């Protein structure tokens, strides 16, 4: 059984330029007269930085951080540059030798790859971003040491890198004495997450990891480690804790909508969703026309127009309920919710906006329902907990009605809330159209729900 599973697993292979930071030499393996870069294979559809550093550790017992991916004419065999975190390198272990980059065979690195690699080694980032150079990891650690004023920070060498790019970083620095620290940096199209996080940490510090420091030139920030992801500790009690924190954060944010919109959070309340229905239905109709697979039937244009009418009615009735707008996360996967003792915090605010809070709660319920065999039972109890938190804002009968109206609107909100994609070139991409068709089928099912149709008849 194990052998069959392994045979079915798909892998991506990389060339890896392992750089010694002191000498700026690169580790190679000899094949005949040629000096080649070592190869690393990782499973597809995983986090490349995390998987690559893990495999480098397993294969050569080396701690490393991925710097960037070189521009290449071999997309099937990309080349990543990785900085070895250790200070000393013993002579020729593991079958690898340290050489000057110029000694690497011409067939192994193209002229363009050689030029960019040499720039990285020299510390020249050009337009590639602040993390596309050797040595930035030590700079980040020095920055954290200077910024933490209530204790002396001693790193223990445990570095876990989840994202790697010239403009993006997500990395955990272990310490000899808790807490550990996380550094995150974002580039386009998620540059705004930096400002969003800083604003939310200032106004809602209970619900975000403790913010230690920010750095404008890197578009980066550092937080204390705030707990374990909810997906690693899935239980009814932990979910109830998360729902309580979510509701309190949402209610608190209703008083600061002007602050949020001034900081750049888009207002995608029910009226904004309703104004987008027609254009989204037109887009879904075009996406259905582009479908080439016969495995799933298309949704007809007539049915999509019916769905559009139901969405308009749902928006009107949801707005009549009078639920105040609040802070919306729009990416409530269980990995973005951290739990530690009695504290629950939320991370990854790139898709944050202002809108109807019940739609975020429904998205969370959908995630929970899919998470395990107890999911459906848990959702019933979580809905009761969430309702109790909103009774001081909205009468119980109206809350129940909002629950019934939420499912299709939550999908609409998720689709519409992912940026101004409808006016961008990616709107015509096959991948986004396929994703949109999948969401359209979910909306189709939800708009046939007896609970929704009953709520619309009231």
How large a percentage of the chain has pLDDT more than 90? 79
Stretch(es) of the chain classified as CATH 3.30.200: 136-224
From the list 346, 351, 453, the residue with the least C-alpha distance to 407 is: 453
- Distance, first Cα to last Cα, the chain: 55
Nearest alpha carbon to residue 289 among 433, 429, 415:
433
Rounded to an integer, what is the distance from CA 199 to the centroid of its chain?
19
4, pLDDT greater than 80: no
Query: Peptide bond preceding 189: is omega within 30 degrees of 0, i.e. cis?
Result: yes
Q: What is the pLDDT of residues 66-118, one digit of tens each?
A: 999 999 877 789 999 999 987 555 555 578 989 999 999 989 999 999 999 99
Architecture of domain 228-457: Alpha-Beta Complex (3.90)
**Is residue 262 scored above 60 in pLDDT?**
yes
What pLDDT does 33 receive? 87
Measured CA to CA, the distance from residue 429 to residue 62 in angstroms comes to: 40
pLDDT value of position 93: 57
| 346-393 pLDDT per residue, tens | 999 999 999 999 999 999 999 999 887 888 899 999 999 999 999 999
Average pLDDT for the chain:
91
Query: In the chain, where does the domain assigned CATH 3.90.79.10 lie?
Result: 10-122
Class of the domain covering 10-122: alpha beta
**C-alpha span between 19 and 38 (Å, rounded):** 12
| 100 HSE (CA, 13 A, CB side) | 3
Domain at 136-224: CATH code:
3.30.200
Q: Are 99 and 18 in contact (CB under 8 A)?
A: no
């Amino acid at each position: 059984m194990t052998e069959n599973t392994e045979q079915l697993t798909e892998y991506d292979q990389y060339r890896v330029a392992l750089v010694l930071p002191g000498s700026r030499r690169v580790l190679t393996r000899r094949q005949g007269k040629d000096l080649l870069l070592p190869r690393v294979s990782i499973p597809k559809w995983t986090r490349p930085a995390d998987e690559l550093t893990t495999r480098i550790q397993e294969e050569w017992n080396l701690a490393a951080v991925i710097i960037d991916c070189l521009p290449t004419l071999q997309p099937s065999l990309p080349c990543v540059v990785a900085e070895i975190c250790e200070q000393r390198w013993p002579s020729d272990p593991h079958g690898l030798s340290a050489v000057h980059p110029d000694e690497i065979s011409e067939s192994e690195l193209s002229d363009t790859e050689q030029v960019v690699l040499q720039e990285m080694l020299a510390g020249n980032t050009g337009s590639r971003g602040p993390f596309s150079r050797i040595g930035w990891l030590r700079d980040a650690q020095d920055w954290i040491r200077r910024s933490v004023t209530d204790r002396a920070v001693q790193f223990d060498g445990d570095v876990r890198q989840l994202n790697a790019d010239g403009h993006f970083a997500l990395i955990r620095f272990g310490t000899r004495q808790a807490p550990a620290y996380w550094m995150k940096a974002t580039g386009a199209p998620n540059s705004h997450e930096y400002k969003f996080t800083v604003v939310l940490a200032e106004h809602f510090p209970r619900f975000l990891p403790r913010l230690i420091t920010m750095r404008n030139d890197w578009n980066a920030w550092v937080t204390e480690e705030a707990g374990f992801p909810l997906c690693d500790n899935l239980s009814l009690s932990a979910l109830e804790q998360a729902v309580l924190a979510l509701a309190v954060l949402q209610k608190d944010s209703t008083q600061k909508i002007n602050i949020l919109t001034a900081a750049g959070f888009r207002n995608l309340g029910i009226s904004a969703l309703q104004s987008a229905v027609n254009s989204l239905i037109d887009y879904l109709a075009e996406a259905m026309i582009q479908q080439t697979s016969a495995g799933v039937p298309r949704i007809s244009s007539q049915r999509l127009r019916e769905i559009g009418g139901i969405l308009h009615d749902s928006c009107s009735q949801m707005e009549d309920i009078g639920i105040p707008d609040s802070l919306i996360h729009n990416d409530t996967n269980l990995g973005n919710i951290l739990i530690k003792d009695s504290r629950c915090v939320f991370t990854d605010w790139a898709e944050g906006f202002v809108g109807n809070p019940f739609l975020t709660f429904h998205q969370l319920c959908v995630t929970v329902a899919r998470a395990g065999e107890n999911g459906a039972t848990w959702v019933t109890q979580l809905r009761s907990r969430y309702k109790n938190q909103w009774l001081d804002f909205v009468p119980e009968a109206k809350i129940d009605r909002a629950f019934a109206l939420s499912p299709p609107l939550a999908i609409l909100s998720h689709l519409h809330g992912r940026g101004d994609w409808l006016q961008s070139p990616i709107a015509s991409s096959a991948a986004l159209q396929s994703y949109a068709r999948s969401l359209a089928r979910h909306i189709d099912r939800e708009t046939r729900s007896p609970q929704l149709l009953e709520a619309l008849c009231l």
